[in-house]
Structures are given as structure tokens and as C-alpha cells.
Structure 1
Amino acid sequence: MGRKDGVDILPERVKEVKVKEEKKAVLLPEEVPEELTLGKALQVREAARAPAVVVYNKHELLVNLKPLVRKTDEEVIPVLRDPYTKRTDGFLTQFELMVPTSHRSRFSVLDFMHEFPMFKPDDDLLRVVRELEDKRVRGAPVVDEEGKLLGVVDYFDLLRLLKHHLPGEPELKVKDVMRTGEEYAIDWNEKVNKAWHKLINKFLPGLVVVAKDEENKVKGIITYKEFVKTNRWFIHREGEHMSVPMAKVKTIMMRGVPSLSPEDSVTVALDKFLVFREPVIPVVDEEGRYVGALFVEDLVRALARLPRKAVEKSETVEVREKEAS
């Protein structure tokens, strides 16, 4: 017998404990032939959507596109030959829009336009993921046989499609998919230009921001989106003279971001990505210290390679039958 707030608490009286088995459908992270994977069974047409921003002038300056992307958060920007035929000549991604670091920048769409990849509606997701990775782009147009624009896809579109078609619970944890190492983190007192160079040179969509003087406690993230969304210019290149001291990462980083534990299921990560819509989520320990980073493309790749068919797994469950008081 115990006491709580001066009241005697009787111990729970259990009449009988029964053990039963429950079955659930799971997806085992095992190697299977490509033809039997979930990604091979899905076609990109199921993930394609209409773009929020389209460009017709290849000589348009990148700095002029930033306000449109800030409003829409569009990841893929098709470049069309004209508004009538919708013939697609190429595309930009939001990542390229972080390159101009000055209002005086003369970089144009033509300077950074991608011509490949462009997907056909019946391309499977495994091919799409492989092509995005090989060409180092974060999304691409979907076109018909004549090159006419049908839609666009990015990693979040693919993730949403995979979630809808998961036939069971993936037996994968965040620790199986995340990346580890200091190369995916940056101290919040570093200069902004160091983060910019790290993202550009390593083609990283984002970095986890930590406070090294606080035992690597996670403070937020900084991604290519912060460089596109901000109306202020914190780094000066392309021949401009410095007029103000270089800003620190903490100035433009995103705060209050969700985090993951290495032991979390990938389905927890999947839901957070679809709500958060940022390309990286920090992975932390129980004290909130940096452990690693989970990137949306790594999660998409892992889910696409799962078996398309689930297996039944038995779990032992205790059922405690209480005595009537």
C-alpha cells in the first residue's frame, strides 16, 4: 500500500495475466530484387503536380525569381519555350536561387538551367530517385513524348506518394538512414558565408546548427531556403565591397525545428518531413545534443527500396485482467 497526498493507494489487484499473439504487416529492410521493390511498382505520374512558378524567358535574372519562390516555396521551376506549346527547354530548382548573393547579380536563368533529367509519366520511382541523385537536382519536370510539360516532382512529392502506398510498417529506424559526422553541422557563431560555401560546394540541402560551446546542443537548421527567403543580404560577392560586418549563422537560421531520436521509426520521420517541409531534420540524443542529420532524399531512397509486399509478424502482448473491487 502506498500514499499519495495523504490518501492510501491500494496496489493493483490482478486476477490473471494472459499472453496472446497479435499479427501486424511489416516491411523488412532486406535486400530484394529491384523488380520487387516498392519504388519499382510506382510511377512518377502518380506524384506529379502543377508547378507554382513557370519561366518563359531564359534571360530572366535569378534575383527576379526569388520573390516568386518566396511566396510559393516552389522547388522546381520549369523553363518553357512559350506559353502556347508548353515545350520544356529545361528547369531550375530552388537550390540554384541561393547562388546570387547580391542585388546587382547578373546571373540569368540560362546560366544555371538544367536540361536533364526530365521524366516520362511511366518512369518508376527507383529510376526517378537514381536520376535525381546522379544529376544532383532536387526535383524535375514530367513531360510527354513531345517534351510538353505535364507537371513537376520533388522529393516531398515522392515521399507523399510512398507514404500512401506503404503496405505495412517499415522496420527501419532513423539510425539506419541518417548521416553522421561534423560535415553535416555548423556552429551558430560561424559566419554565414561559411555555411553558404558548405552548402554549395558539398551540394548539401541543409546543415544542422549547433552550439559548440554548449556541448553541441542543436539550435536549429540552415538550408538553401533561408538564403532564398531572406530579404536581407548578409554576404557580399561578385565584386561588391563589404559595407557591414559579416553576419553569423544564428542571424538567419531556422529556430524551433523538430528533431528525431536515432531510435525513432522512419514513419515518425516521414510524417515530420511532410508537415515541416524542410530538407533536413536534426537527430539528437536525450540531452538535445547533435547525433546526426536525416535528409529527405535519404528517407525517400530507403523507402523506395523496401519490398512492395509486407509480411506478417507476430507480437506477444500481455492482457492483464483486474479483479473487481
Structure 2
Amino acid sequence: MEKAEVRAAERAEAAPKPPHLVKDILEYPGVRVVPSHSLKAVWKYFREFPHDILPVFRNAFSDLIEGVIYPNTVLLLKDKADDRRVGEVVNKAVSISLGATVEEAYKLLRDRRTPGAIVLDDEGKYVGIVTLRGLLEAVKQMQPKARSVNAVYSEFGAAVQRIEENRDIGEIMKKIAGGDADGAVVVNKRGLVAGVITVWDFIRSSIWLRPRREPRPIFGKGVSRGSSAEAKAPAAKAVMSTGVPIVTPRTPIEDAAQAMATLGVYVLPVVDKDGRAIGALTAFDVLKAYFEGPKEGREDLEPERPIKGAEELKPSALEPKPVKFATGVRARDILRSDVPTVSLFDSISHIRRVMVKTDAPIVAVVNEDRKIVGLISRRDMLFYLAEKSLGYWKVQKGKKLVLKENVMPGEQAKLLREEGTASDVMRVDVPKLSADASAEEIAYHMLAAGTDYVLIVDNSGEPLGVITRDDLVKVYAERGREEATVAELMSPADIVTVTPFHSVSHVVEKMKKYELDGILVVEGSDVRGAIVDNKLTLTPIEESLRGERVFIITRSGSKKGGSERLRYPKASPLTASDIMDEPPPTITANEAARATAARVLRHGVVAVFDQQGRLIGALTGFDLVRDLARAYATSKAEIAKRVEA
């Protein structure tokens, strides 16, 4: 056997095996419920120990099972004075043996339409529980029999309801309490997803519970609170969870399973290409995809998966060419001194707020003595967040950033990674130039350092201000090389383009690798949009994801004005199509680069076409900066030759 085959066999042997038996996914609730417990006490237990079921024992010292309590049983509470006991509402337990297979457990839960079962050993003794959550964890390591969401999702009907955000929840609450519905997708007036409602939204909140009943007053026109009329149920928007991942018919079922298992959300909205809700994906739908395959009459569409490859740069693509010209502009003429400051320990979210509030492309980081110790641009922020992100969502609470690997249903999202501060993001190796430095020299050192800014200092080394990439583009628009054409400066199409299905991480990596500030999103021969580094910010939107805040991509600069935001995370990783802006202006290759610079400054990137209407490249801000840098490199080479002579 060849070495490659041996290594492949070793990898296959070392790979984790998917759980096969119930004992591999067994759960052990951390509380013992007995018939004498009040239903309100069990409500608190579900908040603290959010399993899909809790066993009810005969007494605190016995392992004999009297039945089970489901989360939706809590919804039987009528008001805050309701003191009924578990023994009055206990459900008959569904049981399965410890040695049963995972597939047998799925079929049992499916047939009984229950979220969990009691697990018994060979002697019939209680050993734990098996739940939907455990099955979702198990299938993450399996190959599904249906590839796409389209093959298994539920259309709106009995199991999954559709409700407008301003409608009261009385009817849907009754259906969830009775086990007739898994949940509901909440939509706004335009039919777009506003959130979801599941039993865990009722467990987490008490807004649905009526106040304590009081007697009617005998005299007077006044009435006691809550006594003269039935309290109106709250609107759906008061109870729903927002920030829940959405899926499309072409979302890979593996991504949906991962989202459910990670977030503990058993209902994911399914939307069409216009973002309108067409149904929902439930936990049972996902499990059906793995254990059975597509629903009858459903087409299993080819899933849309983010592309992660990276093209290699052609050696001659960005070769510097000798250029002789000078703008005559010095650093003192264009430096910006009104740079906002942040401290070393300010959080990333605070830095972002400063940038948004001041519309600044860059901030200075100062120490306790108010001395500048580093700089952070929007481009730096984008690269940092792209490198540090884990999973699909950037979640912030206090000084945290990333969701924990697995969250049980209804559980508060635990967070693992520190959000990061200015000291983590700032660059300290910033080029320092004098106020006499030419625009060409500034461009040269900016590119050499791989930044989009330089620091200008006086003779004693004290900072005077900064010069950014956009400042140099302005210089080029006013005094750039007149004979330069777009064809001479542009980045070729194979370097400056991505498809709509390339992952965001790939887009950012390409920007970084090839020193691009703009990327074209193309599909076939059509330019579908553009992505520009200084127009992208990761914005924390006040959305509830188990009480957390979610970082959402914000898109600005649309034709309609203002900004658009991707309100909901996706169950699969974000792609270029999710963050792209409007298609940029188009120009021909023989146009003057200087005349085009103003459009580059305004839009970040322009698409370049040949005479036959074919896309051949794009002109970005860094392309214009490169032309300035070539002029400086050419002058240095000529000076060196004269010295040698």
C-alpha cells in the first residue's frame, strides 16, 4: 500500500465516528422533579436546565418514573396565582432502551411526536433521557439522505404557523401548549421575517402570563386591575425571538442542522429569493433529511455552498512599470489632523461607534499620557474581525464576541472569546514620514507597509496628522498623470472578481492578498455588485438571540440613500451576495485614469469593459496609489544610477 493510501486510512480511522446508539447521546438532567412540585417551580427548572423533557420521579429518593413534563406543559398556567402541581399535569412517559440505535430513537420520537424519551437499561431502570437536541448533535457527524432544505421543510399549516407581528399570541400559544404546533414564523406587513416563536420564548418570558386575579369592586365605577375584562394577550412581536438564522430552499441541510444544534432553535424560517417567508424548517424536518430523505413529491435541489478557494496571483499581473511624473503635492498640503482618538482598552464595538459617529476612516489609539501608540482604520477592523470570527455569527455581550459551540434549547448563549480591544487591533508599525514627503513617497511607503494610511510627524517625531488612501486618490484626481489610461492601471478581472457564492472570508482574504480596496461580484458576464472595504462595517444590532446582541453586516451607499442591513444571520456562512452593494459605474479601458479617479473615490471601485462589452478588470483606489508609488520608485532608481555613475 502506498504512503498516501496509508495516511488516508489513518485519517479515516482517527476521524470521530458518528454516534450509533442511544447511550452515545444520553443526557442527564440536573434536577429531580416530583409530583408535589408546583408547575411554576418546574418553569424555573426549565430555565435553568433547558432539556426537551424532564422526568418526574415518584419521590426525591426514588428512581421510579411517574411520567415526564414537557416545556409546553408550563403554558397551562392560567395566571400568576395558579398553584397547580406536577401530579395534576404529568404526561405519560415514552421509553426506549439504552442499547437502541439513534435511528430507532428518531423513529420513536417522530411517531409519538414527542421531543424526548426516558432511557431504560436492560433491567428497566432509569438511566437518562434522549432528546431532539441529542439527535441533532448526532446527525452533525452523518451524511444526510436529502441535501437541501427544499427537500424537507414544512409549509405553513398545522405544525408551523405564520403570524403577523402585531397579532396577539393567544391562538398560537394554545396550539404550542397542546403540542399541535412546533412554533410560528412572525412576519411584518411586507411579509418579511420578523422573528420566530417557539415554546422556549414562553419559558424565557413571563409577559404572556396574566396577572393575579382580583375580586370585582362592589361600589363605584372603578374596577380592580385585571378584574373587569379578560386581559388581552400580548402581540407576537413582544414574545418572539429575533436574530434567528434564516434558510433558503437551497441552503445545505448540514448548515441548518449545525445552526439548530448550536443555537438550540428548533424552528428556522425559510424564505424565497425576495426574502419573504414561505415556510419553516423544524427539528423533525432536519432529522428526516438524515434518516429518511426527501419528503414525498419534493425536489432535492443542488445546495448553494460558499466557495472558499483562492486564486494564485499571476507573476506579471501587478508588475511595477517605470513611470516619470510628479504631482508636486507634499504631506503638509493634504494631511488630516482631526483624527478621533480611542484608548488602548476601548472595545471593538466602541471603536466602531466612534467611526460611525464621526464618519472617520481612521482613529488614533492613545495611552494614559495621551500619546499616540497606534492607528486603526476601517480596513484594519474588517481584517481583524474576519480573522478572529468563529462560526456564523459575531455575538457581543459586555466584552465577549463569539457564541459557544453548543447551546441547549432556551439556554442563554454562553460566550467564549474576548471581544478584543484597541490594543489587539491597532497597528504600531505604521510608516512615519515628514511633512515634506511627496505624495509619491507617501504612496510608496503605504504600499510597502501594507496599510491604507501613514503617520506624518514633525522634526522631533511628534505626530502632526495622518494621510489615508482616499487622500492620495483625491490628489490623483487633481494632479494625476494625464497620459495614464485605465487599461494601464487597472487590476485584471481574474484578480478583482468573485462570484456571489464566494464566502466573505475569501473576499476579505483576497482584498488583503492583492492589496485591493474593492471587489466586483460577477455572475457569468454580468457584474452583480461590488464590495468596498471602507463601506463595510460590522454593526451590532439590538436583536435578541437568547438575550444577546448580534453583529450584522451593514451595507451603505445604496442608490436609495441611507443604509441597508442584513437583519438576520444566515444558517450557512455569509457569502459575497449577502454583503455586496449596488453595481459600480462602468468605464472603458481607454479612458483617462485621472478623469476616472473622482468616480473611484465616490464608489470605491469601477468596472472596466473592452470595446466588445466584456469585463476585463476594475480600477480601485489602490491602483491609483500604485501609480504614484511607481513614480517614486522610478525616481529613486534614476538617482541611484546617477550616484553609481
TM range (shorter): 0.7 to 0.9
Offset, 1:145: 3.6
1:304 Cα deviation from its structure 2 partner: 2.1
Map 1:64-213 → 2, pairs under 5 A: 64-164=41-141, 166=142, 168=143, 171-181=146-156, 184-201=161-178, 203-211=180-188, 213=189
1:44 corresponds in structure 2 to 22
| C-alpha distance in 1 between matches for 2:246 and 2:314 | 42
Structure-2 residue corresponding to 1:226: 201
Regions of 4+ moved over 6 Å: 236-240, 318-322
1:58–1:85 Cα change, 3 Å: closer
Report deviation, 1:260. 0.6
Is it true that 1:292 corresponds to 2:267 in the alignment?
Answer: no
CA distance in structure 1 between the partners assigned to 2:91 and 2:111 by the alignment = 13
Instruction: Name the SS for the 2:78 alignment partner.
Output: coil
Cα separation, partners in 2 of 1:265 and 1:150, compared to 1, 3 Å: same
1:119 aligned counterpart, secondary structure: strand
- Measured in 1, the distance between the counterparts of 2:231 and 2:60 equals 43
The answer to whether 1:272 aligns with 2:259 is: yes
Q: 2:236 aligns with which of 239, 249, 256?
A: 249
Deviation at 1:133, TM superposition (A): 2.6
Larger mean Cα displacement after TM superposition, 264-273 or 80-89: 80-89
Structure 1 unpaired stretches of 5+: 1-37, 307-317
Aligned CA distance change for structure 1 residues 238 and 282 (closer, same or farther; 3 Å):
farther
Q: Give the residue type in structure 1 aligned to 2:37.
A: E
Partner of 1:32: none
> After alignment, is 250-259 or 279-288 more displaced?
279-288
Q: Distance in 2 between matches of 1:163 and 1:126?
A: 14
Distance 1:278 1:235, change over 3 A: farther
Residue matched to 1:20: none
| Post-superposition offset of 1:98 | 2.0
Query: What is the rounded CA distance, in whole Å, between the counterparts of 1:321 and 1:232 in structure 2?
Result: 57
The 8 Å contact of residues 80 and 212 in structure 2, kept in 1 or not, is answered as: no
Distance in 2 separating the partners of 1:49 and 1:293: 27
SS at match of 1:159: helix
1:101/1:233 contact within 8 Å kept: no
CA RMSD of aligned residues (A): 3.0
Distance (Å, rounded) in 1 between the aligned partners of 2:250 and 2:124: 44
TM-aligned CA distance change 1:252 to 1:119, over 3 Å? same
- Greater share of residues in strand: 1
Structure 2 CA distance for partners of 1:234 and 1:90, relative to 1, 3 Å: closer
Q: CA separation in 2, counterparts of 1:238 and 1:49?
A: 39
- Relative distance call for 1:43 and 1:73 in structure 2 (3 A) is same
Letter in 2 for 1:252: V
| Equivalence for 1:14 | none
Structure 1 residue 292, shift from structure 2 partner:
1.1
Q: How does 1:3-14 map to 2 (within 5 A)?
A: none
For 2:115 and 2:211, how far apart are their aligned partners in 1? 26
After TM superposition, the score normalised by the length of structure 1 is 0.74
**1:16-48 deviation digits (Å, cap 9, x = unpaired):** xxxxxxxxxxxxxxxxxxxxxx99x92211111
Q: Which structure 2 residue ranges, 5 or more long, are not aligned?
A: 1-16, 215-225, 294-308, 317-645
CA–CA distance in structure 2, aligned partners of residues 320 and 86 of structure 1: 61
- The alignment's TM-score, normalised by the length of structure 2, stands at 0.39
